[in-house]
Amino acid sequence: MLSVIIFIAAIAAAAYHTIIEPLYLNPKSRIPGPKTFALTKWRLAWEDFKGTRTRTIHALHEKYGPIVRIGPDEIHCNSLEALRTIYGAGSGFERTWFYRMFDAYGKQNLFTFHTAKEHSERKKLVANAYSKSLMLKGPAALMVQEKVSQYLALIRAQGDQPHEIFGSLHYFSLDAITHFLYGPSYGGTSALKGDAKDRALLNDIVDPTRRYLSWFAVHLPSLTKWLYTRQGLIERMLRPVLPMQKPTTYTGIRKHALDAYYRFQSAAETESDSLIAEPTIISRLWKSHTSVKGSDHNTLDSLDIASECADHLLAGIDTTADTLMFLIWALSRPQNLDIQKRLIEEVRALPQDAFEDDLPKLDVIDKLPYLDAVIKETLRLYAPLPASEPRSLATDCVIDGYTIPARTVVNMSPYSLHRNADAFDAPLTFNPDRWFGQADKLALMNRWFWAFSSGGRMCIGLHLAMAEMTALVVGIYREYSTSIAPGFEEKSPAITSRFEMFYDETVPEIAEHTCMIHFTKASL
């Protein structure tokens, strides 16, 4: 009889903890959403595995409203109030453990620091190097001009043949960010010039199986670590079942970043003064190295510097390249040729003194209104990082009228924010003209625009990315018009972000990591 009572009590306790408490007694139970998501984290993990997380969450917002419970201890928001509360300056919300998967060499960096204090202290070391004024004039501007020139040479070399721009734009962004971080001598790549070794750095980025590795790393971290640290016979036995074959995501790029650091360090030990004077990120970080600055709270050791540079390198490749690809693809679609024509007219109306050696001056093209609208509309509809940005708070708080217990994971995503029909009319339509609307409508759209995040954790590379994009778009459309290559008219290019592929969902077919564009030389 006692054993029966114990069994019934165990069943009752299990039911209480797994069903009754999370669905009816927990403060989060008041937040709308499907019961299956509230019961177990594995319901959302299944969407992650299918690569449908972001679209599924967006559909839940359309059904349940601006706040949705997507897990036992996780919610997702889509409102301006939540945006201010969670991501506004001084909010107190911190990045979650999710970001630690982006540590490099066992060291945290700007992207992975939990607290605002840690992030702020590191950011002070490099923020000025990313300022808009330095992006528009000086060494950074000259570097961008050089990469634009090399990209245009790549197009010319292709002749009348269609050009695959997903790959070539990744060469462009790779070369730009490595030269900005390291300079030409210690880590600057030459992918645009055809260097096979540098181009190979992108191989593990474009491998579609990186999505499955990301899923395992987030949802089964201990198993993933065990799988990838086996050696010998066990390693060979496990190889066929690995989520992604070695080398895994970012392996080559992180090795390149570490090698670049050690080359810089070796040179700095003999010519420190001249290297510190160079306008690179690594030289700025070196000033906080123990051998230069001594030991204070801002001192960085070797792997701190290497990790920071590796983080900036990874952040500067996909984001810029993917945005440029979608921009050119969108302008090349038959229904958008009037948009392309208007952009071309603006670009070709620039006076000759807006160019230097036939390359656009960044401080001049920064003021082009229609170009700015085209880039902004691309970032809205095809945000390069469209998925959720998780945060948590150490204390209880109120969001959209609901009490959120401490350490609940809260998220928002550009994908959902940018598809709010109240802010963006016909949100799935590529329409740069929307950014020339009435002042009140424009103000509303700007409040919902979140391509670069906001608050203290806003993207530090914003101005570099904009400089690269504006310069290359002007360079291309001053010389060429573009159209989609035959056979690809009904295909949307698709990019990889975390667990998912993102593409234009209004187009019937998908071409993953492929975008074929025909460049037609203009008669100037």
Has 309 been labeled as part of a binding site? no
How distant is the alpha carbon of residue 285 from its chain centre? 23
Question: Residue type at 513?
Answer: H
The helix/strand/coil state of 146 is helix
Angstrom CA distances, 499 to 6, 247, 260, stand at 43, 18, 29
Cα torsion angle, 336, 339, 343, 344, sign:
positive
**For residues 491 and 509, is the Cβ–Cβ distance under 8 A?**
yes
Give the number of other CB atoms < 10 A from CB of residue 153: 12
Cα torsion angle, 153, 157, 161, 163, sign:
negative
Q: Give the span between the Cα atoms of 23 and 40, in whole angstroms.
A: 11
Secondary element (H or E) of residue 83: helix 80-87
Angstrom CA distances, 9 to 13, 16, 23, 39, stand at 6, 10, 20, 21
Is 491 exposed, middle or buried, given 0-12, 13-18 or 19+ CB atoms closer than 10 A? buried
Q: Which residues fall in the annotated binding site?
A: 459
Binding-site residues for heme = 459
